[in-house]
Structure 1
Amino acid sequence: MKFPSSSSSSSSSSSSSFLLSVVVLVVICKSCESVKLPADVSVPAVLVFGDSIMDTGNNNNKLATSARCNFSPYGKDFKGGIPTGRFCNGKVPSDYIAEELGIKEFLPAYLDPNLEPDELGTGVCFASGGAGYDPLTSETAGSIPLSGQLQMFKEYIVKLKEHVGENRTNFILSNSFFFIVLGTNDISNTYFLSHLRELQYDLPAYSDFLVNSASNFLKEIYELGARRIAVFGGPPVGCVPYHRTLSGGRERKCIQKYNDAMMFFNDKLMKELHSLNQKLPNSRIAYLDVYSPLLDIFQNHQKYGYEVADRGCCGTGTLEVALTCNHLDATCPNVLDYVFWDGFHPTESVYKKLVPKILQEYINQLQ
């Protein structure tokens, strides 16, 4: 038998030490998160329901919907420049939430045909662009309604049990963070733009209708095992470029009526979530205010390093969104100067600033 010389043995030892160091470093970095959690708090997965703010590609194969964006210039700043179905130039809040919690870099769409079984245990996204608490909102947009997202969640649980077993599944469901982002399309599109519900309800009654829908949904996912649930309030939708163009007059001002309606809905939603927290044993349900921080960015954009807050980066920036923001449109020279990517959705840069701040503020309510 030929033994290695002392020099080759030393080289081999050094190489092994180096590889070990790399492995340790990778493991350490994998577990790092920006949001600090107590040592005894485990968050195995992130599960997301909602609309286009959170959708990571569930609408890609729904050819009947106009709420689709799996084409350029969407995703131009995403890893590899790939249009994944995210309504943004890059990552969306779903991704940043998972990343901030140290779980994974991207949150895959549940309907992604390439979804690996191992991804189930760390979370997926059920959100669908165009969806709302109101079934009519989703129907009009051709998106996956809240009932459909709930059905996908039930299918997810079955698949998860098959993959990791019942005990691990129960642990994942009870310890994971659930995020819900809905309501914007209801107020913006179904109530004000199309007037479909304005003819049936005054604003207080419609807000009650939406809050009741949200409450029923939360009870259903609670019954299925969810315990740590974060519900985002609606944004100042009257300030998105699309509405400024249609209803903001020559100066394209924010539509205060839309913003007031959203604040009214948010207030009712917040009160209902507080009530549910008292009624559902062991639940930790948090209302996350995004209205205030987003309004500050919209109104004081230069403070955050942005030059343009009333137009999107895609095309003219006034109306283009989804199918009307496509490869035929030029984009702005520097997306980092813009608050909005298209006529409705913020840029990746805004999400990157917003999500860590929101999580840090409310994380204690979910523990």
Structure 2
Amino acid sequence: MVLLSETITNALVKLPANKTIPAIIVFGDSIVDAGNNDDITTTLARCNYPPYGIDFDGGIPTGRFSNGKVPTDFIAEELGIKSVVPAYLDPNLKTEDLLTGVSFASGGSGYDPLTPKLVAVISLEDQLKYFEEYIEKVKNIVGEERKGFILANSLFLLVAGSDDIANTYYVLRARPHYDVDSYTTLMVNSA
């Protein structure tokens, strides 16, 4: 038996009366991945198994690289958008989730184009391709005008870089011809 719970989200962040944030759109790495890596069979960068998710609603692993929510879930909740931001690649993604925002983030990704290749995850470039697909889906659901409103007024977040520095640069030493200054310059130029 599967129990579903509905969460009512009340905004704690007070926006000006004439301002609406209809959706949250997320790109990045494991800090904000809501489960996009779950079905990537070529990567070990997954967390769809215990103890991940033990503090999440229902105590189940969600593919989030945490024991519960990730930072973008808290941000979306504080803004009154929704209680959790779903992964774009979640096979159970609902139409209404597209209209209020999704996460394209992939644990193990980064600004350096080499970083996602090393662990076989979704690059930022591929996240943008999924975003283009997302835009078309939203347009097909609500039309051009509402799609334009959603995109113009949404909160866009890009959270990445820790995998670049920690894994690609220091642990794997995959960029041996770079010092920290030149490597962070590479990251900024790639961003």
**Alignment deviations for residues 292-321 of structure 1 (CA, whole Å, 9 cap, x no partner):** xxxxxxxxxxxxxxxxxxxxxxxxxxxxxx
Instruction: State the structure with more CA Rg.
Output: 1
Letter paired with 2:116: S
| Contact 2:9/2:82 (8 A) holds in 1 | no
Deviation of residue 158 (structure 1)? Answer: 0.5
The percent of aligned pairs where both chains have the same amino acid is: 58
The CA distance in 2 between the partners of 1:171 and 1:31, in whole Å, is 22
SS of the residue 1:150 aligns to:
helix
Aligned twin of 2:116 = 138
Is 2:44 the partner of 1:66?
yes
Aligned runs of 1:101-120 on 2, under 5 Å? Answer: 101-120=79-98
Aligned twin of 1:207 = 184
Letter paired with 2:159: V
The CA distance in 2 between the partners of 1:77 and 1:32, in whole Å, is 21
The CA distance in 2 between the partners of 1:31 and 1:59, in whole Å, is 27
**Alignment deviations for residues 118-158 of structure 1 (CA, whole Å, 9 cap, x no partner):** 21110000000000001110000111001110000000000
**Alignment deviations for residues 164-209 of structure 1 (CA, whole Å, 9 cap, x no partner):** 1010001100100000110101111111111111x12222211111
SS of the residue 2:116 aligns to:
helix
**Alignment deviations for residues 277-336 of structure 1 (CA, whole Å, 9 cap, x no partner):** xxxxxxxxxxxxxxxxxxxxxxxxxxxxxxxxxxxxxxxxxxxxxxxxxxxxxxxxxxxx
Is 2:74 the partner of 1:96?
yes
State the TM-score, normalizing by the size of structure 1.
Answer: 0.49
Gaps of 5+ in 1: 1-28, 215-367
State the TM-score, normalizing by the size of structure 2.
Answer: 0.94
Larger % of helix: which? Answer: 1
Which gives a bigger RCO, structure 1 or 2 (Cα 8 Å, sep 6+)?
A: 2
Aligned twin of 2:125 = 147
SS of the residue 2:69 aligns to:
coil
The CA distance in 1 between the partners of 2:72 and 2:35, in whole Å, is 11
Gaps of 5+ in 2: 1-6
Deviation of residue 31 (structure 1)? Answer: 6.7
Is 2:154 the partner of 1:171?
no
SS of the residue 1:80 aligns to:
coil
The CA distance in 2 between the partners of 1:30 and 1:76, in whole Å, is 21
Measured on the aligned residues, the alpha-carbon RMSD in Å equals 1.3
The CA distance in 2 between the partners of 1:30 and 1:164, in whole Å, is 23
| Contact 2:9/2:83 (8 A) holds in 1 | no
Letter paired with 1:204: D
Aligned twin of 2:24 = 46
**Which deviates more from structure 2 when the two are superposed, residues 153-162 or residues 203-212?**
203-212
